[in-house]
Amino acid sequence: MSTITASMVKELREKTGAGMMDCKKALGETSGDMEAAVDYLRTKGLAAAAKKAGRVAAEGMVVDYCDGKVGVITEINSETDFVAKNEEFQQFAADVAKTVATENPADIDALQQCKLAEGTVNEVLNQKIAKIGENMSLRRFARMEGSNVATYIHMGGKIGVLVNLEGGDNELAKDICLHIAAMNPQFLDQSQVDPDFVAREEVIFTTKAQEEGKPEKIIPNIVKGQVAKRLKEVCLLNQPFVKNPDQTIEQLLKEKGATLIAFTRFGLGEGIEKKECNFAEEVQQQVQASR
């Protein structure tokens, strides 16, 4: 069995909202497998499904560029929040987003070779790293073209959303962006749900029903209902609109005569494990390095 560390317990608590001892036990039962531990807690009714997404674990910012026809969101990471608030860093991020819009690079490698005023994106990035004294990286970007494209940045760059609508107007597109930022849907509709996602949910709900002592003959119906409810929570078109919970997103789009072609949501640092650091020690190290 792998060693269960305090940082692992802390991470699991942040993912699930479960108690410390429950998290420690879950990690022990699953040999330290974080995702399996999340599932274990859910089968015990100790984890909130809404907290399943990982915590934000890296600094930097998500920036956008949009002219109504072309929209871009891109994530640029830094080691600390101090750098993310630096005007020079923010201007570089804005320049990169505009470059993605105008040059339409195929991937990050292609983006790095695109030209800015002071050189290629990669050259300018390295200049910033040398000047600011902190590592930075271009992590990812999304770009869409269409007749009604919109972007939205929340919490100063902690969340970025990009949507592509056919029909409707800019106000509707902005409302959809706002909803996606708040509700974090994982799929557009049930036709796009990954079969592995459904299978995993079925295992979780089946195990939970069995441990609660439900009669075997009714468990399939219980699981079917719970999975259906879960899919409504994670599919954008089935979600209640944040500005009017009596109306689903699908109903809103139909009312406005619009179709949602695609959407992308970036949460800053999601999926990146952040190095734990003692702030006092970090300051001391910087002082010593400057001598």
Assign residue 72 the CATH number of its domain: 3.30.479.20
- As a whole number of angstroms, the distance between CA 191 and CA 236 comes to 12
Q: With 0.85 as the threshold, say if the pTM is over it.
A: no
Residue with the larger pLDDT of the pair 216 and 13: 216
Instruction: Please state, in angstroms and as integers, the Cα–Cα distance from residue 16 to each residue in 39, 61, 174, following that order.
Output: 10, 25, 30
Query: 197-220 burial, b for 16+ CB within 10 Å, e for fewer?
Result: eeeebbebbbbbbeeeeeeeeebe
Query: Per the domain annotation, does 251 fall within a domain?
Result: no
Same domain flag for 99 and 149:
yes
Domain span at residue 43? 1-55
Looking at 20, 35, 55, the residue that finishes a domain is 55
Same domain flag for 41 and 80:
no
Query: Per the domain annotation, does 250 fall within a domain?
Result: no
Mean pLDDT across 71-75: 98
Q: What is the mean pLDDT of the chain?
A: 87
Same domain flag for 71 and 34:
no
Query: Per the domain annotation, does 8 fall within a domain?
Result: yes
Number of domains composing the chain: 2
Same domain flag for 155 and 100:
yes
Residue with the larger pLDDT of the pair 58 and 206: 206
- What type of residue is 277? C
Per-residue pLDDT tens for 264-273?
999 998 877 5
The SS3 call for residue 187 is: strand
Same domain flag for 64 and 49:
no
Residue with the larger pLDDT of the pair 159 and 38: 159
Retrieve residue 27's tokens.
Answer: 């990690």
